[in-house]
């Protein structure tokens, strides 16, 4: 099937003219499915809906602070991710707790690891700027947390795909002065 009929404009168009989504089912290959409306009709409908529903725009003010349900503390609103589907407009968990839960860290473990590393990146030892936190470096196959890295060191490790052999060849290349 290389074409499809749009249910809104009834034109037959190529599949590239429809937004696609992947439907993943357990124990089956992913099947690509396409929306019933073409991209043009979808965009026109969305624009008209926004114009007709401008008075429904969410203009609730955010609270100055919020209570985190995981660490049980009240923190400034800036410590939470926005979520306009929630009554208060913020996630129920602070960003630190969301990060800790994502990587399986116990509450406060990030701060303990940071202190053990001397307050900086595990590789370059530089402290992280105040507005950015260090990234949680972890083994992608086992999920084990290895340490905290600055953005540059974390990206470098990722670019080498956690491959020690590839990293060794890069060190050898730099030691020999290039090609």
pLDDT in tens, 90-131: 999 999 899 888 888 888 888 899 899 998 999 999 887 765
Distance CA 158, CA 138 (A): 11
What is the percent of the chain where pLDDT is above 90?
39
The answer to whether 95 and 79 are in contact (CB under 8 A) is yes
Q: Looking at residue 57, what is its pLDDT? A: 58
**Averaged pLDDT, 65-77:** 92
**Averaged pLDDT, 25-43:** 77
Query: Selecting from 3.30.470.20, 3.40.140.80, 1.10.150.120, 3.40.1800.10, what CATH number does the domain 108-179 have?
Result: 3.40.1800.10
Q: Which two tokens stand for residue 145?
A: 């947390």
**Averaged pLDDT, 19-40:** 73
Q: Where in the chain is the domain with CATH 3.40.1800.10?
A: 108-179
End-to-end CA distance of the chain: 49
**Averaged pLDDT, 76-83:** 90
Mean pLDDT of the chain: 85
What burial class does residue 172 get, using C-beta atoms within 10 Å of its C-beta: 0-12 exposed, 13-18 middle, 19+ buried?
exposed
Q: Does the structure show a pLDDT above 70 at 44?
A: yes
Q: Does the structure show a pLDDT above 60 at 177?
A: yes
Q: Looking at residue 30, what is its pLDDT? A: 56
Q: Looking at residue 131, what is its pLDDT? A: 59
Q: What is the CATH number of domain 61-103?
A: 3.30.60
In this prediction, residue 27 has a pLDDT band, given cuts at 50, 70 and 90, of low
pLDDT 10s digits, 127-173? 877 656 888 998 888 888 899 999 889 999 989 988 899 999 999 99
Q: Where in the chain is the domain with CATH 3.30.60?
A: 61-103
Extract the runs of DSSP E, i.e. beta strands, from 83-157: 90-94, 135-138, 145-149
R_g (Cα) of the chain, nearest Å: 24
Q: Among 1-10, 25-34, 93-102, whose mean pLDDT is lowest?
A: 25-34
């Amino acid at each position: 099937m290389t074409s499809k009929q749009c249910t809104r404009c009834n034109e037959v168009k190529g599949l590239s003219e429809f937004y696609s989504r992947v439907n993943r089912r357990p124990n089956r290959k992913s099947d690509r499915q396409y929306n019933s409306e073409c991209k043009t009709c979808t965009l026109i409908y969305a624009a008209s809906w926004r114009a007709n529903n401008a008075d429904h725009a969410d203009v609730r003010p955010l609270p100055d602070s919020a209570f985190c349900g995981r660490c049980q503390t009240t923190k400034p609103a800036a410590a939470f991710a926005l979520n306009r589907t929630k009554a208060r407009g913020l996630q129920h968990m602070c960003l630190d707790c969301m990060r800790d839960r994502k990587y399986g860290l116990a509450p406060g473990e990030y701060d303990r690891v940071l202190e053990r590393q001397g307050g900086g990146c595990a590789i370059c030892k530089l402290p992280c700027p105040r507005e950015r936190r260090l990234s949680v470096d972890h083994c992608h196959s086992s999920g084990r947390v290895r340490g905290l890295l600055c953005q540059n060191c974390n990206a470098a490790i990722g670019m080498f795909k956690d491959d020690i052999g590839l990293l060794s060849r890069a060190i050898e290349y730099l030691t020999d002065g290039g090609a």
